[in-house]
Structure 1
Amino acid sequence: MSGLIGKKVGMTSIFDELGRSIAVTVIEVPACTITQIKTEESDGYNAVQIAAFDKKRKNISKALNGHFEKAGSEPKRIVTEFRDYIPEGFEIGDELNIDDVFTVGDHVDVAGISKGTGFTGVIKRHNFHGVGDQTHGQHNRERAPGSIGQASDPSRVFKGMKMAGRSGNQRTKIKNLSVAKILPESNLMMITGSIPGSKGGYVEIYNQSQKLA
């Protein structure tokens, strides 16, 4: 699946051809440098590795510095792979732009780090409804999770039990969005709906419509 790296700018609204207002997220998508092309013969699978957003050379490791120099690229902040996709006519060191990968109407998935909301209870974190009729010992504590204990067998709390804890700040993917508008001269694209993360967060945009070339 093809894709590019972007940075969330914010949300706005545009009007479609029928005059309806559509909420969109604006994403800055700079020219992404191809730093490696992996094939079945050499690596066991097909993929393209791309990098975007400049980073100071002093802030990267020697290994990464050598990797970028081999590709003839300046150091980049974000490096990611898009598997089962090799762009036709491009080589290591070339740049992929928005209009090389996306067109208006394409269906896309967007992955990023969601907003963190701190330590939260089960109502906010897992959408528990609470106990309105105060049964099962829930007197005057409707937002409590309820009993989580076990009997003598297995006499432990199962791993993964839904409890209070840190909410958000984890990798999230929103699927089946669509490209509403592309502004290649400004390195901007608009995607319908909302995407994970806060303003300035880095995201990966996967094009569902384009497979292995």
Structure 2
Amino acid sequence: MAKGILGKKIGMTQVFTEAGSLVPVTVVEAGPCLVVQVKTEEKEGYTAVQLGFGEKKAKQTNKPMQGHFAKAGVKPLRFLREFRISPEEADQYKVGEAIDVSLFKEGDLVDVVGQAKGKGFAGAVKRHNFNRGPMSHGSMYHRRPGSLGATGPERVFKGRKLPGRMGGHRVTIQGLEVIKVDPEKNLLLIKGAVPGRNGALVQVKKSVKVRS
């Protein structure tokens, strides 16, 4: 069965390993998630499993989504996300079944997907780590982006690093190690930092990276 689960980022802390070393970890409340739909190649054109996470009041759910949840026989859920699976794995999922942190074990490598914190409009120094200009002799060129180049075409080339919106985009961190699994509290302790603010939705799935 392909490994994938939805969760909520709780925050960061640190734990001691059996060897006595101190490890920074991110605590994720992962699941339990419900299988809302299993998509197949014949009907939808691709195979995927749709998981739901987080309770939601029925009156806050529109009529089409109420029908979608009623068809699956589950209560309305706040978040819905898809995980691609192979056609052979489609038969392993049943609509309405619960998926919890028992999918993972200590030492597994996972990829965590979340939305980075939005930082608003930022200049090139903060956004792209540019060096600032001289601060003396009245240069008046302290934190500006610098020459845009391309004087012949008389336009700015696409991809030029300029001031603009910083953060608020989808980020995937690969190859993070699962330090501890707590099935009773539905908690995953993942080594290192994961994207997003505390309380934000994250996706935890089996890593595509291979341990070296």
By the TM > 0.5 criterion, same fold?
A: yes
Cα deviation, residue 202, structure 1 = 0.6
Determine whether 1:94 maps to 2:97: yes
2:148 corresponds to: 148
Cα deviation, residue 11, structure 1 = 0.5
Q: 4+ runs of 1 displaced by more than 4 Å?
A: 131-134
| Secondary structure of the structure 2 residue equivalent to 1:129 | coil
Cα deviation, residue 55, structure 1 = 1.1
Determine whether 1:199 maps to 2:198: yes
Letter in 2 for 1:143: R
Cα deviation, residue 140, structure 1 = 4.3
Q: 1:117 aligns with which of 93, 116, 119?
A: 119
1:167 corresponds to: 166
2:33 corresponds to: 32
192-201 or 56-65, larger mean C-alpha shift: 56-65
Cα deviation, residue 42, structure 1 = 2.5
2:66 corresponds to: 65
1:127 corresponds to: 129
Cα deviation, residue 126, structure 1 = 1.0
| Secondary structure of the structure 1 residue equivalent to 2:105 | coil
TM-score normalised to structure 1 length: 0.88
Q: CA RMSD in A?
A: 2.1
- Structure 1 gaps of 5+ residues are none
| Secondary structure of the structure 1 residue equivalent to 2:52 | strand
Cα deviation, residue 142, structure 1 = 3.6
1:39-50 mapped onto 2 (5 Å cutoff): 39-50=40-51
Q: Deviations over 1:40-95 (max 9, x none)?
A: 23322221110000111122221111111111111111100100253764310111
| Secondary structure of the structure 2 residue equivalent to 1:41 | coil
User: How many percent identity over aligned positions?
Assistant: 43
Q: Deviations over 1:122-148 (max 9, x none)?
A: 1111111234699xxx93424221012
Letter in 1 for 2:141: R
Cα deviation, residue 182, structure 1 = 0.6
Q: Deviations over 1:2-58 (max 9, x none)?
A: 310000001011111210000000001121000111222332222111000011112
2:207 corresponds to: 208
Aligned residues: 204
2:12 corresponds to: 11
Query: How many Å separate the matches in 2 of 1:145 and 1:190?
Result: 40
Q: Deviations over 1:165-191 (max 9, x none)?
A: 111111111111011101110011100
